[in-house]
Amino acid sequence: MRLFTHDSSNSKALIITGFSLVIILMILIIIISATELEHTSQQIHEIIEVNNYKEKLVETMHISAFKRVSSIQRMVLLSDAFDQDDEAMFIDEQGNVFTQARQKIAAAKLNESEVKLLKELSQFTRVTVPIIRKAVDLTRTGRIERAKLLIENELIPAQLLVFHTLSSLQDIQEKNIDSAFRSMLTAQRFSRYYMLGLGLAAGILSILIAILTYKRVQQAETLLSYEKERAQITLQNIVDGVITTNGYGLIDFINPTASALTGWHPHIALGQPLLTVLNLNDSLMNKCCHSAEDVPHCRNKNMTLLTRSNKKLAIELNASSLPYDGFHSGGVVVTFQDVTKARELTQTLSFQATHDPLTGLYNRMAFEEKLESRISDSRNQKQSHILCFLDLDHFKQVNDSAGHAAGDQLLIQLANIFSKHIRNSDFLARMGGDEFAIILENCDTYKAIHIVEGIRKEIDEYRFEWLGKEYQVGVSIGLTTITAEAEDINQLLSQADTACYLAKNSGRNLIKFYTEATDTVTAL
């Protein structure tokens, strides 16, 4: 009060003419500023809490969906019914976890984009759940191959859509937090501009008001500092790595996750160029970016992070440029996550979809796709290939007398012998049981007979030892030519099978060639 009185005595005329107006302006501006700051504070607090809550639910759904896919993959590999039941119960449990998390996030406060993505997630879930149940039923009833095909052809593509939708939900949470930070900056600028207007309007009499305003701004900055600290704590604890830079491309923030993934301690990383710490490469270890400004434009999905210890991590990365204005010097913000295990799982699933789990050779599905391609080559490029069908002789005797373990080991060793005789361009597959098939690419009849005769001869001379006993097997081989006149793969497989069948009925351990022109099988 003494300060106000002192100013009044020195500026009596100005007080009389302008004090009332200044007070009105002061009150209005303080009310507006305080209301805006309070509203922004509450809004930011709500956004942070709600988005953290929703982010944890999305992460829960992501993990449970991943566990269900992994469990159904394990289930089809199990032979024990009790083990299969355990996996089925685990799948149901994870389904319940997923459903409960989805119901909780549906009950939370959502924007239009989140509602839309949640509807899409529900649609994708309604697709995947029946597929999972069907795969479980097929596995329990012993129809393992059908279950595997169902998983490979329907479940995994559908589940990838679920994962993509969940990732989009996580992206929205990050955007919401970014929007909240921008609201804080807007509120701060709003208050400062009004305070400056008050000083210009009030003149000398605004000294007192400026003091009061300054106190108010201090309170506002304290509040903003508190909210900024909360935001920093949030960034420190989120599961993704986060790095920000200033306008010169030097790191000014790195959270613990990013520090752990890159191998750079925060105290050492701060002030370093972004690309020194975030060493980004493509799958062939070529540099993805040459400057910090390139990072927001990098769209390489198969990105690799080379850590400080030269360890390679597969990552998914999002980056955005920070705006340059009168208060901020620009820069970039980068978020990334380690997807090494997820990428390895994808590669494993892809390998399992096309390869025989026992021998490591291509499976029947991959072989039929390759055969279809070779038919197309014959039609379009006038190429000629040879299809070979191989059926082991006396294999059942080994399996029955020595056991399935011996039979499996014999199949592995024979597969190695087959591989040794074919060329790099040829295609070898296990069709099932003791049946194999080979596509000899760009191969004439003479060369084909030479190759399969080498296989037949070595198999005939090969002796399989198991637990002190010696076993002998043979191989009956049927061949046919892949030409432009072939109708489809079924016709070719039937021809090769016919030739192989005749080789078996003619005494086994023989090679027969199917002649398409006469629709007969020729003895060799």
The helix (H) or strand (E) run that includes residue 447 is: helix 445-461
The CATH number of the domain where 363 resides is what? 3.30.70.270
Residues 6+ apart with CB under 8 A from 404: none
Assess contact for 346 and 302: CB atoms under 8 A: no
203 with 245, same domain: the answer is no
- Domain annotation covers residue 349: no
Q: What's 19's DSSP letter? A: H
- Domain annotation covers residue 232: no
Assess contact for 261 and 359: CB atoms under 8 A: no
158 with 295, same domain: the answer is no
In this predicted model, what pLDDT tens digit does every residue of 424-451 receive, in sequence order? 999 999 999 999 999 999 898 999 999 9
328 with 370, same domain: the answer is no
29 with 113, same domain: the answer is yes
In this predicted model, what pLDDT tens digit does every residue of 272-328 receive, in sequence order? 998 889 888 876 677 877 777 888 877 666 788 888 888 988 888 888 888 776 555
- Domain annotation covers residue 314: yes
Assess contact for 213 and 221: CB atoms under 8 A: no
Domain carrying residue 510: 355-523
371 with 513, same domain: the answer is yes
Distances (CA, A) of 392 to 359, 405, 429, 430, 524: 15, 17, 14, 12, 18
- Domain annotation covers residue 89: yes
Number of domains in the chain: 3
Written as six digits, the tokens of 328 are 């901020």
User: What is the pLDDT, as a whole number, of residue 419?
Assistant: 93
- CA pseudo-torsion sign 218, 223, 227, 233: positive
DSSP SS3 for 509: coil
Distance CA 374, CA 387 (A): 10
53 with 152, same domain: the answer is yes
Closest by Cα among 175, 202, 167, 205 to 111: 175
The CATH number of the domain where 26 resides is what? 1.20.120.1730
2-8 own/partner pairs: CB under 8 Å, 24+ apart: 3/208, 3/211, 4/208, 7/204, 7/205, 7/207, 7/208
174 with 276, same domain: the answer is no
327 with 360, same domain: the answer is no
398 with 474, same domain: the answer is yes
Q: 206-237 and 2-10 helices cross at what angle (nearest 10)?
A: 130
> Which of 284, 313, 341 delimits the end of a domain?
341
The CATH number of the domain where 337 resides is what? 3.30.450.20
Closest by Cα among 285, 279, 350 to 317: 279
E-strand ranges in 418-466 read 427-432, 435-440, 463-466
Of 86, 434, 444, 519, which residue is the catalytic one? Answer: 434
193 with 257, same domain: the answer is no
Residues 15, 17, 22: CA angle, nearest 5 degrees: 65
State which amino acid sits at residue 308.
R
- Look at the chain and count its residues: 524
Q: Identify whether 434 is a catalytic site residue.
A: yes
Written as six digits, the tokens of 236 are 């420190």
Q: Where are the alpha helices (DSSP H) in 203-355?
A: 206-237, 256-262, 266-269, 274-277, 340-354
Written as six digits, the tokens of 231 are 């935001």
User: What is the pLDDT, as a whole number, of residue 517?
Assistant: 44
361 with 393, same domain: the answer is yes
359 with 336, same domain: the answer is no
- Domain annotation covers residue 450: yes
pLDDT tens for each residue of the chain, 524 residues long: 444 444 445 545 555 665 676 677 677 767 776 676 676 667 667 767 777 887 788 888 888 888 888 888 888 888 888 888 888 888 888 888 888 888 888 887 788 878 888 888 888 788 888 888 888 888 888 888 888 888 888 888 877 888 788 888 778 877 777 776 677 677 667 666 766 676 566 667 667 666 766 776 677 677 767 666 666 666 666 778 899 898 888 998 998 989 889 999 989 999 999 888 988 887 667 787 777 788 887 766 678 888 888 898 888 888 888 877 655 567 889 888 888 888 888 778 888 888 999 999 999 999 999 999 888 888 887 778 999 999 999 999 998 899 999 999 999 999 999 999 999 999 999 999 999 999 999 898 999 999 999 999 999 999 999 988 999 999 999 999 988 788 889 999 999 999 999 999 999 999 999 976 434 455 45
> Which of 310, 341, 372 delimits the end of a domain?
341
Residues 6+ apart with CB under 8 A from 328: 322
> Which of 307, 341, 375 delimits the end of a domain?
341
- Domain annotation covers residue 222: no
